[in-house]
Amino acid sequence: MVTLPGGPVQVYDVELTAMRGLPPTSGGRARILLRAHGVPITLGSIEVPPDGLSAAGVAERLAEVLGDVEIDSTDLERLARRNALAENGPHLTVQIATKDRAMPLRRCLDSLAALRYRSFDVVVVDNAPRSGETCAVVRDWERAHPSIAVRYLQEPVPGAARAHNRALAVAEGSWVVRTDDDVVVDPEWLAAIAEAARSGPGVECVTGLILPAELATPAQELLEQFGGYARGYRRRRVDLGENRPADPLFPFTTGRLGSGANIAFDTAKLRARGGFDTALGPGTPARGGEDLLAVFDVLTGGGGVVYEPSALVWHWNRRDLASLRRLMNHYGIGLAAYLTAAAMRQPRLALGKSRHVAAGVRHVVGRSSPKNKAKRRDYPKDLERRELLGMVAGPAAYLAGRLSRRGGATPVAPPKRSTEVVQ
């Protein structure tokens, strides 16, 4: 474990209704996810003495973790609905796009086996693989978990959007649930998504909470300062109607609702929209943004999006600074490419937002903006510069992606039922 500026950080999951102690922590600092009845409340830091903390000691230090956060009374009716759906909920399809990452994929698949949800299948799409390792992992996992239906597919053309469209074409669930190979999912993940999907009329997309699985290196700590992937601990619904947020740039600010490592869509509605834009996403010149555009399409098509923090996954952030530098540049490219695509889809809407450009600039570069407020004074300027340079390159990257698309869109027609493994 690498020593961070304030000491290494270990991450713990603490349930308030069954309080347990903490072991000694290297560096004396730990990050705590607090839950009540399994529902995430907040993530905060706590100092741990050399001999660890008893359950009573953890309880005494809860104020350090909670800060100004108020613990609402748990919605027991919502929990009851979630428990019922875990046993008798609709069939869901979990889809994972991967490329030559056998070990993280196996870790992710193992977490799916621990889900407390009965009716789901898994589709793994191997995107332009260089070896047969991914196929071997999926076949081995299938033998170890015969009760879970899993399909292995190959998409030879690089691009995460193409891979997910390939999975969408064979999805048998009423909802498709995307995650990445570098996460592990919480046992309540699918139950929380299923409950949120039924939380009101017109819900077509559910996003969830993404927390760091480790904070062991400076690069991982810097990504959290950048903003990480978490989007809060309260459920919220947004749409273009009565649930429209007080955000002058909405609905272009879909990144504030979540990202592709933890996102679900109504299968039929996503197919009807043609799936994911194959000019966007990892593996294309645009580097990202296909998930953001899919959410944008839900909103501009009249659908609702629910952010549900109980739909939790744990993500392994990039461990080295070189990878983080590339990620910041790719993030900037992907964001600007997405905005370009969204503006091309909805030119009148984009024109109407032009008077709010200054607010957008302040959000990106302002030190006190929600995007930047977690950054310390010594946050590397180089990372900010790489992000901004990426944003400058984003529009051209999207146009290049459109020009370089080969073979048209990956078909997303409804599947014929099959359990065979296709390569």
Where are the alpha helices (H) located in 198-241, listed in sequence order? 218-226
What is the C-alpha to C-alpha distance for residues 207 and 297, in angstroms, rounded to an integer?
Answer: 14
pLDDT in tens, 179-218: 999 999 999 999 999 999 999 999 999 999 999 988 888 9
Q: Report the pLDDT value the prediction gives residue 73, as an integer from 0 to 100.
A: 56
The per-residue pLDDT for 74 is 61
State how far the alpha carbon of 314 is from the alpha carbons of 108, 111, 311, in Å. 10, 10, 10
DSSP designation for 308: E
pLDDT digits (tens, 9 = 90+) for 237-269: 999 999 999 999 999 999 999 999 999 999 999
Residue 270: pLDDT above 60?
A: yes
Of the pLDDT bands very low, low, confident and very high (cuts 50, 70, 90), residue 4 is very low
CA distance 416 to 132: 26
Could you please report the per-residue DSSP string of 149-171? EEEEEEE-S--HHHHHHHHHHH-
How many angstroms separate the CA atoms of 417 and 90, rounded? 17
State pLDDT tens for residues 136-147: 999 999 999 999
The structural domains of the chain, ordered by start, are 9-66 (no CATH), 89-323 (3.90.550.10)
